[in-house]
Amino acid sequence: MGAPLLSPGRGAGAAGRRWWMLLAPLLPALLLVRPAGALVEGLYCGTRDCYEVLGVSRSAGKAEIARAYRQLARRYHPDRYRPQPGDEGPGRTPQSAEEAFLLVATAYETLKDEETRKDYDYMLDHPEEYYSHYYHYYSRRLAPKVDVRVVILVSVCAISVFQFFSWWNSYNKAISYLATVPKYRIQATEIAKQQGLLKKAKEKGKNKKSKEEIRDEEENIIKNVIKSKIDIKGGYQKPQICDLLLFQIILAPFHLCSYIVWYCRWIYNFNIKGKEYGEEERLYIIRKSMKMSKSQFDSLEDHQKETFLKRELWIKENYEVYKQEQEEELKKKLANDPRWKRYRRWMKNEGPGRLTFVDD
């Protein structure tokens, strides 16, 4: 018996695979092949030469290009165009005149800018660099018109202004609240009386004031006394210029260098030389253990910080014991709190994930 004949489909498939194996190495080269023509649709003036559109040579200066553009713009402007017998050129109808006007405007925009004109001339001289022309064209076209640095600076300044007025509003609210607390209001009133400030507000004479004006002036005096005598820390402290975002960015290199110097000194003094921690270093370790920011830790009362130092909480074992005690104390408070009891009963009986339907 002779050799079995291959079916047509099987033979065609084998032949196709052989051709694919031969052509596969050539595919990358085939994909990179582009037309060698310098004028590409979608770039600049498309398949038209921008110089020919304006009717100028490649050596023309800016004045000549601008003069040619003005003449053609007046000729092909859609609102002013009037077709004439024997009119030649791209704009023979109002529709084609509008297209010609847009083409002229595109040519002028391309040639009036030195950098864009340089890219266009390079494309005419090197048509084979297809992808490079696309990159340069769209990188300039899509580039932001405003300097990014100016945008960032204006944004940072706006945020800083908002920060300042927001912090100042919070500070004034804190002062207004303290002025209503009897403890601070009485002390401020006594200080104002000793300094004779309240007497000046009640002085009578040519400029006699109404009761409302006197009351408002006394209130402002008390608030000013509280401002001068009370040091508010934390989120309601008096706003400082150096805390704004703009100044933080300006001072960032200084803070970074200061931190590096401080860290190197810490390593040298306490890790290498083995010195004992001072009060400032102990409070820093305690603050880090409690995971509190500097402003939060500074807002604590002095007697609380003294308690931390007496209990030597900078030592890890002592801090763990203190933390456990605080958790146990919090549990006892919650156990005796009637609201917490009601909440636990509700979680046990109802729970957040249950639905109750009332049938009426």
The answer to whether residue 268 scores a pLDDT higher than 80 is: yes
What is the Cα gyration radius of the chain?
41
Residues in CB range of 73: below 8 A, 6 or more apart:
101, 104, 105, 108
Residues 6+ apart with CB under 8 A from 98: 76, 78, 91
Cα→Cα distances 91→75, 81, 94, 99, 215, Å:
9, 9, 7, 7, 81
Q: Could you tell me which residues come within 8 angstroms of residue 44 by beta carbon, excluding any fewer than 6 positions away?
A: 50, 106, 107, 110, 120, 123, 137
- What are the CB-based long-range contacts (under 8 Å, 24+) for 225-231? 225/188, 225/191, 225/192, 225/197, 226/175, 226/178, 226/179, 226/184, 226/188, 227/175, 229/187, 229/188, 229/191, 230/178, 230/184
Residues 6+ apart with CB under 8 A from 99: 90, 91
What are the tokens at 41? 């649709």
Residue pointed to by tokens 């860290």? 263
pLDDT band at 4 (very low <50, low <70, confident <90, very high): very low
In the predicted structure, residue 141 carries a pLDDT above the cut 90 = no
Quick check: 95 pLDDT over 60? yes
At residue 12, does pLDDT exceed 50? Answer: no
What is the torsional sign of CA 344, 347, 352, 358?
negative
**50-142 carries CATH number 3.90.1170.50:** no
Picking from 276, 283, 275, the residue whose alpha carbon sits closest to that of residue 310 is 283
pLDDT at 221: 85
Weakest-pLDDT range from 55-59, 122-126, 294-298, 338-342: 338-342
The whole model's pTM is what?
A: 0.48
Q: Are 104 and 53 in contact (CB under 8 A)?
A: yes
Higher pLDDT, 298 or 250: 250
Q: Where does the pLDDT of residue 195 fall: very low under 50, low under 70, confident under 90, or very high at 90 and above?
A: confident
Tens-digit pLDDT profile for residues 39-65: 777 788 888 888 988 999 888 888 999
The answer on pLDDT for 358 being more than 60 is no
Q: Model confidence at 203, in pLDDT bands (50, 70, 90)?
A: low
CA 172 – CA 219 distance, rounded (Å) = 13
> How many Cβ atoms sit within 10 Å of the Cβ of residue 308?
22
> How far apart are the C-alpha atoms of 260 and 268, rounded to whole Å?
12
Residue 358, both tokens: 């009332």
pLDDT for residue 83? 62
Report how far residue 151's alpha carbon sits from residue 255's, in angstroms, rounded to the nearest whole number.
25
Distances (CA, A) of 269 to 14, 224, 256, 265, 273: 79, 45, 20, 6, 5
Please say whether the beta carbons of 312 and 289 come within 8 A: no
Domain boundaries, the chain: 50-142, 149-199+211-239, 242-275, 276-347
Confidence of residue 17 (pLDDT cuts 50, 70, 90): low
Task: Give the whole-angstrom CA distance, residue 141 versus residue 251.
Answer: 37
Cβ count near 189 (within 10 Å)? 17
d(CA 191, CA 177): 18
